[in-house]
C-alpha cells in the first residue's frame, strides 16, 4: 500500500522492556553493513567437516526445500520430512501473484532501501528492521538463482525478464510466472532437492509427519515422527533441527490454506520451550470467493489485481434481495470509493477486508448468508471492451465461473475476505534460531519479517531468502561453535517423547465419542472467526477464552476417530492437528487480548479513529510479543522484544 500521511508517532524507549531470555542478536553497525559483517564474523564449517553433521529439515515447501538442497550441496547430511506423498505438493505451490526483488530492472527508482522501507511500513512498524533489510538485500540473488534453475519467469519480447507492479509499492519489482509463480519457484527448489536426493546427500522421508521435538541438554537434537502408511512411530537424531512447516491459518477451519496445512510441528516445539512470536497476527485477504454453504471445505483466493478494474459495491438498503442488475445506480453504495476517494477500490488489504465486513455486518451483504460484496466489471467492460478484460483477467474469470457457476462478464462477482497468511510464528533471532538452541525456524513458520501485515509477493521472497541464503550461513555458525555430545535414539528423551506420542494417538483412537473431527474443527473455526478474526474486542476475546478450553475438553471426551493406528488413517492425522489448533487458538486470543492497540491485520475495535481506521499505540506496543509455554491451562509468560526504528520512522498510515 502507499501511505500518504507521514505524521511521526512517539515510540517508547526500547530499553524499557529488555528481556534477558530474548536476545535478538542483531549485529552492530549501520544497517547496510550488518549482514555482510555478520557473514564474516560467523564461524564456518570447513568443507571436509560438513559431512560429520546431520541436519533435519521438516517441511519441503519453498523454505524447506531450498534449505535442504542448499545444505546438501554444501556437504551436510540432510534428512528432509514431509507429510505429503511428494515434496512437490507443499502449499507454496498455490501462490499466484509473484515474488518481489529490488532489481530495479525497470529503472523506476527501486532499491534495496526502498524494498526495505515498503516492507517495514507495510508491516505497520511491527517487524525487526535488521531482518527486513537483509531480506531486501538478498532478494536479488533469489531471482538470479531461480533463473539459473530454469524457472520460466515471464519475459519481454527482447528476452529480458518482465515485471509487474503489486500492492504496497510504487515501483514494478514483482517477477512472475503467469498466475503460477509459487508453483514454478517450488518446482525449482523441488528439482534442486531432487538432485540431492538422487545423489544420496538428502534422505527424503515422505508421508512422514513430525509429532514431537526432542530436546537434550537444552539443545534440539531430533524429532519423533509417524510413518503415515504403516503408523510406525520413529525417532530421528540430528545436530540441528530446522522447521519449515508453514503457517496456521487453518485454525480458522476455512482459509485459503491447503487442507493439511497445520501447526503441529511449531506447536510441539512451543510446548518444548520455543517462544511463540505475535500469534495473533493473521492476514485476511479481501478478494476470495465467498462461502457457498455449510459444506464448504476451503476458500479460494482471487488475485488482488482484479481490483484494478472491478468496482466494489453493496446495496444501500439492508436486506435488498434483488438481483444486482435490477438495483439502480443510485441505490448502490460503492463504499471503498466513498470512504477512500484517493485509493478507492485499491485500498490496502486490511482496510478493504474490514470495510467489507462492516457493510455485511450492517445487513447489506449479498449472496447466500449475506456474506459477500459485489466486484463489478460492467463499467470496465463498457469502457475497455470485453476483449481487454478477457486478456487481463480471462483465467481468473474462468476459475470463478468454474467454482460458482456464474459468468462474471454478465453478473458481478461476489467476493468476501478470507484468512490466508499468518505473520505470527515461532520467535527467532537474527540467525533464525528459536529460543531452543539448535532449533531453527524458516519461512512462514517463524514470526517473520512482515510485522503486522505482509505485502503481496513477499511471502515467496522470504521463504527462499531464508532457505537459500540465510539459514545455510547461520546454521554453520551454530554447528561450528557448539560442542556436541553423542546421542542416539536410545536416549531417554527420545524414549519419553515416543511414549507421549504413542499415548496421545491411543487416546484419540480410544475416545470413540459421537462427533467427528471436522465438527469440532468447524466449531473452533467459527469461534476464531467471530472473536479473533477481522475485528476483535475485549469482550469477544474474553468470551473466546472461556469457550475454547471448554471446546477442547469436549473434543477429548467426544471425538470419534475410526480405524486403527497402524495404517493410513486420515482421520487420525486430522485429529492430532485439530487437537493442537485447539491449544494454539487460545494463545492467539491471549495475544490479541493483550495487544491493546490496532496494527496491520490486528484490529481492536476499541482502538480506531473516528473514521473507523486502525489506531496504533507505538508508545506501549512497539515490541514483538514472545510467549513462553508454562503448561496447558496455565497462562503463558509474555516476553517482549523491543523494536527499534532507526531508519524508517513510524508514521500513521492513511489512505483517504
Partner 1 sequence: MNLTLHVWRQKNAQSEGRFVTYQAKNIIPDMSFLEMLDVVNQELILKGEEPIAFEHDCREGICGSCGMVINGYPHGGHRGTTTCQLHMRHFKDGDVITIEPWRARAFPVLKDLIVDRSAFDRIIQAGGFISANTGVAQDANTVLVPKQNAEAAMDAAACIGCGACVAACPNASAMLFTAAKITHLGLLPQGQPERYTRVVRMVEQMDREGFGGCTNIGECSAACPKEIPLSVIARMNRDLLVAKLKGVN
Shortest CB 85 distance to partner 1, Å = 6
**Nearest to 452, CA basis, from 91, 96, 127, 4:** 127
Q: Which is nearer to partner 1, 89 or 128 (CB)?
A: 89
Binding residues for partner 1 restricted to 548-567, rule: CB under 8 A = 560, 562-563, 567
Q: Where does this chain touch partner 1 (CB under 8 A) — which range of 191-199, 240-248, 353-361, 637-645?
A: 191-199
Measure Cα distances from 599 to 453, 556, 637, 655 in Å. 8, 35, 22, 15
Beta strand pairing status for 219-227 and 233-237?
A: antiparallel
Query: Where are any strands of DSSP class E within 107-259?
Result: 174-175, 202-205, 208-216, 219-227, 233-237, 240-243
Task: Give the footprint of partner 1 on residues 568-597 (CB under 8 A).
Answer: 568, 570-571
Q: Does 354 bind partner 1 (CB under 8 A)?
A: no
Rounded (10°) angle between helices 112-122 and 129-149: 120
Q: Using the Cα atoms of residue 334, residue 336, residue 338 and residue 342 in order, give the sign of their dihedral.
A: negative
Under the binding rule (CB under 8 A), the answer on residue 181 touching partner 1 is no
Question: Interface with partner 1 includes 206 (CB under 8 A)?
Answer: yes
| In contact, 390 and 309? CB cutoff 8 Å | no
Nearest approach in angstroms of CB 256 to partner 1 is 8
Verify binding: residue 160, partner 1, rule CB under 8 A. Answer: yes
Q: Give 294 or 330: the residue with its C-beta nearer to partner 1.
A: 294
Report the nearest approach of partner 1 to the CB of residue 192 (Å). 6
Part of the chain binding partner 1 (CB under 8 A), chosen from 15-23, 26-34, 151-159, 370-378: 151-159
Q: In this structure, what C-alpha cell is assigned to residue 243?
A: 522447521
Contact with partner 1 (CB under 8 A): which of 65, 93, 263, 599? 93
Q: Min. distance of Cβ 329 from partner 1 in angstroms? A: 30
Asked if 242 touches partner 1 (CB under 8 A), the answer is: no
- Residue 216 binds partner 1, judged by CB under 8 A: no
Of 77, 100, 163, 194, which one interacts with partner 1 (CB under 8 A)? 194
* 585, 587, 589, 592 alpha-carbon torsion, rounded to 10°: -130
Q: Which of 128, 219, 349, 364 is catalytic?
A: 349
Q: Which x/- pattern, by CB under 8 A, does the window 98-137 give for partner 1?
A: -----x-x--------------------------------
Q: Least CB distance from residue 111 to partner 1, whole Å?
A: 16
198 binds partner 1 (CB under 8 A): yes
Contact mark string toward partner 1, 386..425, x via CB under 8 A: ----------------xxxx--------------------
Distance (Å, whole) CA 17 – CA 460: 33
Per rule CB under 8 A, is residue 183 in the interface with partner 1?
yes
Query: What's the DSSP call for residue 536?
Result: B
472 binds partner 1 (CB under 8 A): yes
Q: Is residue 329 a contact partner of residue 310, using CB atoms and an 8 Å limit?
A: no
- Cα dist from 348 to 100, 281, 343, whole Å: 17, 16, 8
| Residue 656 lies near partner 1 (rule: CB under 8 A) | no
Q: Residues for the chain: how many in total?
A: 656
Q: Contact region for partner 1 (CB under 8 A) — 109-117, 196-204, 541-549, 625-633?
A: 196-204
CA distance 197 to 66: 13
> b/e per residue, 234-267, with b = 16+ CB within 10 A?
bbbbbbbbbbbbbbbbbbbbbbbbbebbbbbbbb
Distances (CA, A) of 421 to 99, 205, 284, 585, 624: 16, 26, 7, 15, 18
Report the DSSP pairing between strands 99-100 and 174-175: antiparallel
- Interface with partner 1 (CB under 8 A), residue total 79
In the list 20, 47, 109, 159, the residue contacting partner 1 (rule: CB under 8 A) is 159
Burial of residue 406 (number of CB atoms within 10 Å: 0-12, 13-18, 19+):
middle
**Cell digits of residue 499:** 511414549
Q: Which stretch binds partner 1 (CB under 8 A): 255-263, 383-391, 597-605, 637-645?
A: 255-263
Longest Cα–Cα distance in the chain: 76
Question: For this structure, is 349 an active site residue?
Answer: yes
d(CA 188, CA 194): 10
The single residue among 34, 50, 79, 84 that binds partner 1, judged by CB under 8 A, is 84
Task: Tell me how far apart the alpha carbons of residues 223 and 214 are, in angstroms, rounded to a whole number.
Answer: 5
Q: Which is nearer to partner 1, 190 or 421 (CB)?
A: 190
Binding mask 277-316 for partner 1 (x = CB under 8 A): ---------------xx-xxxx-xx---------------
Residue closer to partner 1 by CB (options 26, 291) is 291
Q: Does 79 bind partner 1 (CB under 8 A)?
A: no
Does position 40 interact with partner 1 (CB under 8 A)? The reply is no
Binders in 492-511 for partner 1, by CB under 8 A: none
What amino acid positions are annotated as catalytic residues?
Answer: 349
Amino acid at each position: 500500500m502507499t501511505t500518504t500521511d507521514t505524521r511521526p508517532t512517539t515510540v517508547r524507549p526500547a530499553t524499557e522492556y529488555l528481556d534477558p531470555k530474548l536476545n535478538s542478536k542483531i549485529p552492530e553497525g549501520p544497517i547496510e553493513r550488518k549482514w555482510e559483517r555478520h557473514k564474516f564474523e560467523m564461524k564456518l564449517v570447513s568443507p571436509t567437516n560438513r559431512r560429520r553433521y546431520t541436519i533435519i529439515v521438516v517441511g519441503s515447501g519453498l523454505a524447506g526445500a531450498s534449505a535442504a538442497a542448499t545444505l546438501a550441496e554444501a556437504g551436510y547430511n540432510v534428512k528432509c520430512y514431509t507429510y505429503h506423498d511428494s515434496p512437490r505438493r507443499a502449499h507454496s505451490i498455490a501462490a499466484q501473484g509473484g515474488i518481489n526483488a529490488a532489481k530495479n530492472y525497470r529503472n523506476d527508482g527501486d532499491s534495496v532501501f526502498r524494498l526495505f522501507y515498503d516492507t517495514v511500513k507495510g508491516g505497520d512498524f511491527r517487524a525487526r528492521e535488521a531482518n527486513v533489510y537483509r531480506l531486501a538485500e538478498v532478494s536479488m540473488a533469489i531471482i538470479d538463482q531461480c533463473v539459473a534453475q530454469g524457472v520460466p519467469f515471464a519475459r519481454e519480447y527482447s528476452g529480458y525478464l518482465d515485471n509487474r507492479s503489486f500492492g504496497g509499492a510504487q515501483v514494478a519489482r514483482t517477477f512472475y510466472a503467469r498466475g503460477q509463480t509459487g508453483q514454478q519457484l517450488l518446482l525449482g527448489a523441488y528439482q534442486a532437492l531432487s538432485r540431492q536426493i538422487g545423489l544420496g546427500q538428502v534422505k527424503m522421508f515422505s508421508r512422514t509427519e513430525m509429532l514431537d521435538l526432542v530436546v537434550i541438554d537444552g539443545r534440539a537434537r531430533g524429532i519423533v515422527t509417524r510413518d503415515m502408511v504403516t503408523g510406525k512411530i520413529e525417532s530421528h537424531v540430528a545436530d540441528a533441527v530446522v522447521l519449515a512447516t508453514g503457517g496456521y491459518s487453518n485454525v480458522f477451519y476455512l482459509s485459503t490454506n491447503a487442507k493439511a496445512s497445520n501447526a503441529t510441528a511449531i506447536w510441539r516445539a512451543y510446548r518444548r520451550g520455543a517462544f511463540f512470536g505475535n500469534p495473533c497476527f493473521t492476514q485476511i485477504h479481501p478478494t476470495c470467493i465467498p462461502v457457498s454453504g455449510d459444506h464448504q471445505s476451503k476458500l479460494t483466493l482471487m488475485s488482488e489485481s482484479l481490483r484494478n478494474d472491478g468496482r466494489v459495491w453493496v446495496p444501500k438498503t439492508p436486506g435488498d434481495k434483488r438481483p444486482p442488475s435490477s438495483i439502480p445506480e443510485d441505490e448502490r453504495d460503492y463504499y471503498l470509493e466513498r470512504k477512500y476517494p484517493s485509493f478507492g477500490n485499491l485500498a490496502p488489504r486490511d482496510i478493504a477486508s474490514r470495510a467489507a465486513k462492516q457493510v455485511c455486518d450492517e445487513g447489506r451483504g449479498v449472496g447466500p448468508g449475506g456474506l459477500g460484496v459485489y466486484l463489478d466489471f460492467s463499467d470496465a467492460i463498457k469502457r475497455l471492451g470485453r476483449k481487454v478484460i478477457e486478456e487481463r483477467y480471462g483465467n481468473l474469470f474462468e476459475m470463478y465461473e468454474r467454482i460458482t457457476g456464474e459468468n462474471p462478464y454478465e453478473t458481478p462477482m461476489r467476493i468476501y475476505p478470507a484468512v490466508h497468511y499468518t505473520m505470527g510464528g515461532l520467535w527467532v533471532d537474527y540467525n533464525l534460531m528459536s529460543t531452543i538452541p539448535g532449533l531453527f525456524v524458516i519461512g512462514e513458520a517463524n514470526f517473520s519479517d512482515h510485522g503486522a501485515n505482509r505485502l503481496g509477493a513477499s511471502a515467496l521472497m522470504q521463504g527462499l531468502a531464508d532457505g537459500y541464503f540465510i539459514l545455510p550461513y547461520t546454521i554453520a555458525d551454530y554447528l561450528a561453535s557448539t560442542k556436541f555430545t553423542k546421542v542416539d535414539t536410545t536416549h531417554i528423551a527420545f524414549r519419553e517423547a515416543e511414549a507421549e506420542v504413542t499415548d496421545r494417538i491411543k487416546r484419540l483412537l480410544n475416545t470413540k465419542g459421537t462427533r467427528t473431527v471436522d465438527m469440532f474443527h468447524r466449531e473452533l473455526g467459527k469461534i476464531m472467526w467471530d472473536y479473533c478474526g477481522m475485528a476483535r474486542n475485549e469482550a469477544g476475546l474474553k468470551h473466546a477464552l472461556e469457550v475454547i478450553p471448554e471446546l477442547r475438553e469436549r473434543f477429548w471426551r467426544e471425538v470419534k476417530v475410526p480405524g486403527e493406528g497402524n495404517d493410513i488413517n486420515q482421520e487420525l492425522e486430522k485429529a492430532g492437528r485439530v487437537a493442537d489448533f485447539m491449544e494454539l487458538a487460545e494463545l492467539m486470543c491471549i495475544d490479541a487480548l493483550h495487544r491493546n492497540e490496532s496494527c496491520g491485520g490486528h484490529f481492536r475495535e476499541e482502538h480506531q479513529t473516528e473514521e473507523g481506521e486502525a489506531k496504533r499505540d507505538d508508545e506501549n506496543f512497539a515490541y514483538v510479543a514472545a510467549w513462553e509455554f508454562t503448561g496447558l491451562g496455565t497462562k503463558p509468560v509474555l516476553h517482549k522484544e523491543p523494536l527499534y526504528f532507526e531508519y524508517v520512522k513510524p508514521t500513521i498510515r492513511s489512505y483517504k
